[in-house]
Amino acid sequence: MFRIGQGFDAHPLVPGRSLILGGVHVPHDQGPDGHSDGDPLIHAIIDALLGAAALGDIGAHFPSSDPQYKDVDSTTLLAATVALLREARWNIANVDATIAAEKPRLAPYIAAMRDAVAKAAGIATQQVSIKATTTDGLGFIGRQEGIAASAVCLIQEAE
C-alpha cells in the first residue's frame, strides 16, 4: 500500500536569526522566526510525512509550547518523525519539496539540502528532490518579509 502526504510551512524573516533551509546554513542577513531553528523546508517535509501516515502534524508531536524544542535543529525532528513512521510500519519512497524565497539565491545550496534531508530521513539522496522559486515580487515572500516551503511525499507500507 502507498500513501501520499503534503505539507506547507511559512515563517516571517527577522534579523538576528540564521537562515537554515533543509538543514543547511544559507548566508543571509535574516532568518526565519520560529520556536525551533525555524527551517520551513524541513517542517513542510515533516508535515507531509506525518500526514501520509495519518499520524497528525508537526505541532502535535513537537509543540512550540514545549521548551525542549526551543532552537532545536529541525533535522533532529525529521529523524524523530521517520522513527515514528517506521514504528507505524511505513517507509519513505520519495520526497519532493519547493522553497519560495525572493532572496537569497538558493541554487548553490540545493545539493547540500538534498544530502542533509536524505541523511536525517535515512534515505538515499536520489529519493529527495528540492527546488527553489521566487514569487516575482508578489506577497510577503516577494517583499522579503517571509519564506515558505511546500512538500509532498510518497510512503510505502513496510513488508
Domains of the chain, CATH where assigned: 2-157 (3.30.1330.50)
pLDDT of residue 54: 98
Angle, alpha carbons 45-127-113 (nearest 5°): 60
Contact of 139 with 10, CB cutoff 8 Å: no
**Helices marked H in 5-53 — which ranges?**
40-52
Q: With bands split at pLDDT 50, 70 and 90, how would you rate the model's confidence at 69? A: confident
pLDDT per residue over 26-56, tens digit each?
Answer: 999 999 998 889 999 999 999 999 999 999 9
pTM: 0.96
Task: Give percent of the chain with pLDDT exceeding 90.
Answer: 91
Report the candidate in 94, 103, 104, 42 with the shortest Cα–Cα distance to residue 73.
42
